[in-house]
Structure 1
Amino acid sequence: MIREAVDDDVDAAADTLTAAFADYAFTRHTIAAENHPDRLRRFQRLFLSDVGLPHGRVWVSEDLGAVAVWTTPESGGAAEVMENLLPVFTDLAGDRAEFYASAEEEMSRHRPDHPVWFLGTVGVRPEFQGRGLGRAVVAAGLREADAAGVPAFLETSEPGNVGFYETLGFEVTAEYDLPGGGPRTWAMLRPAEG
């Protein structure tokens, strides 16, 4: 069963996202190796508690083994909060702060300049992968974006994710390498359906 997250889910959802992103090329490139799991968990927790829940929508599987965090144009304020959190995110990046900043700058060049539902992060605990949970938590957000008549957007630095997102109706709008030897990244957009 998929449901919207509540504040009490933040810690377990952050644990899920931390496990899902433990070896993700983007986070390895932009968050320091020293205490990486702790830094990554704090980053994901802040994104859930300060961005996703108050300024977007968050869906989880009942067992909290899958999480999808969206920001939406309807809720507003997410961009301002992200700007205010920049010093914290920079601190969490540690000795990778320069790479974090250059990655964000490069990605921003490929983001839509019109309102979108932005899939900021989605993850499934490794032991729960292959059960359709990732598809289910993303699909919940896509249904709401469609109901609002707003396109959906995401970025991924995992080549294997591109085909998965294409099965959900996303199309690649940009493909580029992040500066400083960072991973190849894909920007993907899905028009509103229905």
Structure 2
Amino acid sequence: MIKAEKKDKQKVTDILTDSFFDNRSVNYVIPQDQRKREKIEKLMAYSFDVCHAFGEVYLSDCRRACALVLYPEKKRTTLQSIWWDLQLAATVFGLTRTFRVLNREQLIRKHHPSFPFFYLWFIGVERNNQHAGIGRQLMQELLQLSQQQQKPVYLETSTPENVPWYQQFGFEVYAEESLSYKLYFLRK
């Protein structure tokens, strides 16, 4: 596992845009129009910036998978983070979807613990390289890192088919929420 640098932003953005193009949770906040891919790219670039500033971004050794880890206790409101949020709202969500996003984020935060934790915000593998063990290897390395930090791992998925995959690593579903899709909350 390689710690990504700013120069890796486009690679990470490309992997995540491809991996999450049909994701229910992403499509809940992204308008489904002719600019969908461009908007998902902007969402993933934003997520990279946030995790690079307040967490960590990793690439698999082969650079075909990536993970965005956020440390919520380190997240701060800065002029830069306000600018990122405003850009995202204006160029990706629009006014009505921004309220939808804020409500969903509030719902997610209510299920998070009040103590420091390892928040696996995104993990993705290039579509052509899925089911080849790359994501499994990256997840094992992420779990080793969380153990070294002595922090539990929390994540959400809107893909029911992914729940058993996470459970193979010892994750448990501890909550579910229904939006226009079901959101599963997992922890280890």
Residue 169 of structure 1 deviates from its aligned partner by 1.4
Q: Which residue pairs with 2:134 in the alignment?
A: 133
Query: Which has the higher mean CA deviation after the structures are superposed, 117-126 or 107-116?
Result: 107-116
Q: Which residue pairs with 1:112 in the alignment?
A: 113
Which structure 2 segments of 5+ residues have no match? Answer: none
Amino acid at match of 1:89: L
Residue 13 of structure 1 deviates from its aligned partner by 1.0
Q: Which residue pairs with 2:41 in the alignment?
A: 41
Amino acid at match of 1:44: M
Partners in 2 of 1:175 and 1:42 — Cα distance?
A: 27
Amino acid at match of 2:173: V
Q: Which residue pairs with 1:183 in the alignment?
A: 181
Partners in 2 of 1:157 and 1:38 — Cα distance?
A: 21
SS at match of 1:115: coil
Partners in 1 of 2:147 and 2:77 — Cα distance?
A: 25
Residue 183 of structure 1 deviates from its aligned partner by 1.2
1:168 and 2:165 are equivalent in the alignment? no
Q: Which residue pairs with 1:58 in the alignment?
A: 57
Distance change in 2, residues 1:83/1:111 (3 Å): farther
Amino acid at match of 1:166: Q
SS at match of 2:21: coil
Residue 83 of structure 1 deviates from its aligned partner by 6.2
SS at match of 1:41: helix
SS at match of 2:56: strand
Q: Which residue pairs with 2:9 in the alignment?
A: 10
SS at match of 1:80: coil
Partners in 2 of 1:88 and 1:102 — Cα distance?
A: 18
SS at match of 2:131: coil
Q: Which residue pairs with 2:146 in the alignment?
A: 145
CA RMSD of aligned residues (A): 1.9
Which 4+ residue blocks in structure 1 deviate beyond 3 angstroms?
Answer: none
Q: Deviations over 1:113-169 (max 9, x none)?
A: 211000011111111100111122222221111011111110111101111111111
Superposition TM-score, scaled by structure 1 size: 0.86
Q: Deviations over 1:83-106 (max 9, x none)?
A: 623323322113533322221122
Partners in 2 of 1:162 and 1:79 — Cα distance?
A: 31
Percent identity of paired positions between Structure 1 and Structure 2? 26
1:80 and 2:77 are equivalent in the alignment? yes
Partners in 2 of 1:73 and 1:21 — Cα distance?
A: 22
Q: Which residue pairs with 1:99 in the alignment?
A: 100
Contact map agreement 2:65 2:135 (CA 8 A) in 1: yes
Amino acid at match of 1:98: F
Residue 110 of structure 1 deviates from its aligned partner by 1.2
Which structure 1 segments of 5+ residues have no match? Answer: none
Q: How many equivalent pairs are there?
A: 183
